[in-house]
C-alpha cells in the first residue's frame, strides 16, 4: 500500500513458506532437554516464552542418501 512498500514482499512470503515446508519434509524434529516444553510466559508485548524452545533436528534417511549420491 503506497510507494514505500517493499517490492519483494510477495516473493519473500513465498520463499519463507517454501523453506519452512522443506525443513519439515527433510528433517525429523524432536524437543530437546528431556522432551518437555516449558510453556510458561515471559514479559513483553508479544508474550514470549520464559525459556527458549530447544529443538533437535536430524536429517531423514532419504536426504542422507540423496546428499551422499550427489558428491
Predicted pLDDT of residue 64: 78
Alpha carbon distances (Å) from 48 to 36, 43, 44, 53: 17, 7, 6, 11
Question: Would you kindly state where each structural domain of the chain is located, as residue ranges?
Answer: 29-71
Percent of the chain predicted with pLDDT > 70? 94
What does the buried/exposed string (b/e) look like for 14-48 if buried means 16 or more CB atoms within 10 Å of the residue's CB?
A: eeeeeeeeeeeeeeeeeeeeeeeeeeeeeeeeeee
Residue 37: name the closest of 51, 58, 18 by CA: 51
pLDDT digits (tens, 9 = 90+) for 10-32: 999 999 999 999 999 999 999 98
Q: Is it the case that residue 1 has pLDDT exceeding 70? A: no
Bigger pLDDT: 69 or 48? 48
Q: What are phi and psi of 18, to 5 degrees?
A: -65, -40
Average pLDDT, the chain: 87
Q: Model-level pTM greater than 0.75?
A: no
Specify the DSSP class assigned to residue 34. Answer: G
Amino acid at each position: 500500500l503506497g510507494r514505500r512498500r517493499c517490492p519483494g514482499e510477495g516473493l519473500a512470503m513465498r520463499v519463507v513458506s517454501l523453506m519452512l515446508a522443506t525443513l519439515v519434509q527433510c528433517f525429523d524434529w524432536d524437543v530437546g532437554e528431556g522432551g518437555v516444553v516449558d510453556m510458561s510466559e515471559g514479559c513483553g508485548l508479544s508474550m514470549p516464552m520464559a525459556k527458549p524452545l530447544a529443538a533437535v533436528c536430524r536429517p531423514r534417511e532419504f536426504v542422507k542418501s540423496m546428499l551422499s549420491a550427489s558428491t
